Amino acid sequence: MVAKNFNGDGSNKGTEPQNGPTKEPTYVVQQHPLHKRGFQIVRTEKEAAPVPVGEYIVLDKNEPAQITQKKVALIQKFLNSTEDRKKQFSGKRQHVAFQRLGVKSEEDAPEQILFYTITKGQNGEKTYKENGLLTFSKEEVSKWTQMSRQS
């Protein structure tokens, strides 16, 4: 299987690492082979076969495809960023509701983040609806933790 960048329009624009060739992995997001409304996150490294490391599954069946494509492109851009990931999105006027899901066993459990869509009712009350599930292998999260400690 050949991994292709998913950028909404099928191009690679804006998804390559910004500082040229690097030893850090490049992440691509492609249509999930098993989930109709899912995307597979693949890590590619120079001279190595692509490795699936995560997935994003859309839970809200009413979400328009264009919105999903923008979210997936943003995930890919975030993963391929060479900047400090915490600073990259600071100052943006967006509110994202999410919850990191707990696991019973820390051994081989994947990291999972559940995203919510927030809507306001007529009386101003907020309603949270499950929107998407982002999952990464435990090994991949460990690599990110090590890289952030080194920089």
Question: Domain for residue 56, yes or no?
Answer: yes
Question: Domain for residue 8, yes or no?
Answer: no
Contact predicate 49/40, CB 8 Å:
no
Q: In degrees rounded to 5, what are phi and psi of residue 48? A: -140, 150
Question: Domain for residue 7, yes or no?
Answer: no
Per-residue pLDDT tens for 48-71? 889 999 999 999 999 999 989 888
Question: Domain for residue 101, yes or no?
Answer: yes
Q: Any bridge partners for residue 130, and if so which?
A: 116
**Residue 78, domain extent:** 26-82+94-150
Task: Give me the chain's average pLDDT, please.
Answer: 76
pLDDT at 13: 47
* Residue of higher predicted confidence among 20 and 130: 130
Q: Which residues contact 28 (CB under 8 A, 6 or more apart)?
A: 3, 4, 5, 6, 15, 41, 42, 44, 50, 76
Question: Domain for residue 18, yes or no?
Answer: no
User: Mean of the pLDDT values across residues 80-107?
Assistant: 65
- Our count of domains for the chain comes to 1
Per-residue pLDDT tens for 4-47? 444 444 444 444 444 445 456 789 999 999 999 999 999 998 88
pLDDT at 14: 45
pLDDT at 91: 52
Question: Domain for residue 70, yes or no?
Answer: yes
Question: Domain for residue 100, yes or no?
Answer: yes
The model's pTM is 0.70
Distance, CA of 115 to CA of 70 (rounded, Å): 15
pLDDT at 92: 52
Question: Domain for residue 13, yes or no?
Answer: no
User: Mean of the pLDDT values across residues 90-116?
Assistant: 72
pLDDT at 88 over 60: no
